[in-house]
Structure 1
Amino acid sequence: MNQVADNPYVAPEAELEVQHEAGDLSVFPRFTTWAVFGLTIITLGIYAVYWMYSRTRHLNSITEDRISNGFVGAAVGVYIASGVSSIMMGLTDASALSGTMVLIDGLLGLASWILMLVWAFKFRNRLNRVTDSRGKPTWAGPILTFFFSVFYLSYKVNQHLDIRASR
């Protein structure tokens, strides 16, 4: 007998998540780069991390070579620790600051910046691989990724979505 006949009170099982093919960029919502820039400024950088986190989840759903959840968690954790450290440094009287506190704050800030940059490059590499855009105008280059990371990646995702929508 089937499951319903055995127990009519059991909820039916169904795959609720829409399955996307590899390379299907329709998983990305189109959100202008100017909005990403504005929200990043308003939220003092927090939106950039949110953008990377949410878009990484979308990218991981359409690629075999996923960005590890452990790496993403570590990057977000160090970013939060750096923010908390900076807030604590700002609230502490300057004469009460020790060299150790300043050093820890600086190291957390540096580690956060490095992890976010590595994350941007991991995202860029997978986006380029998924879209197979080598030699095309939609190719995300390393120099602009280094200098404009989240904003440039947002622009490139939107560029791919616009080309796809114009077909």
Structure 2
Amino acid sequence: MKDTGRRILLGRVAGAFGIRGEAKLESWTEPRSAIFRYQPWILRDARGNEREITGVRGKESGKHVVATFPDVADRDAIEAMRGTEIYVPRSALPPPSEGEYYWVDLEGLKVVTVDGVSLGTVSHLFATGANDVLVARDDERERMIPFVQPQYVTSVDFGAGVVTVDWDPDF
């Protein structure tokens, strides 16, 4: 692969759409059709095999995005791709706006309280209906901290590699 840096998971092949080799995609971009702006794609199948592809086109259709792959022309080939994950190099994404973050950029940062108590590192983040949640993990436990600024997440310092939180270490 050309870019050996971090990758962002943007979606997955959900199955075939019609009989002409189009694919239904689950897209986690906003809007969903924005997935086509970020190429090349790195396709990773269930066995871990990867290949890079460019020139994928598509549009929104119902609750899925419909895609046409330049090298796939029949329904059976698309069905064989079901579950294939769609990644892009982190460098393919534009810089986030002020006060916004790509989750992948936060993963691995140290998490400390405003009082300097270490809570471990950012393991991952996930979305809920109300807000995103930062998961801080150390050798002993995992803490789920609402990613609400500035109430709970008081600062993110990429230079120092630290996320500072206003959070009770015993919670």
Q: TM-score, normalised by structure 1?
A: 0.27
Q: Name the structure where helix makes up a greater proportion of residues.
A: 1
Q: Give the greater-gyration-radius structure (CA).
A: 1
Q: Name the structure where strand makes up a greater proportion of residues.
A: 2
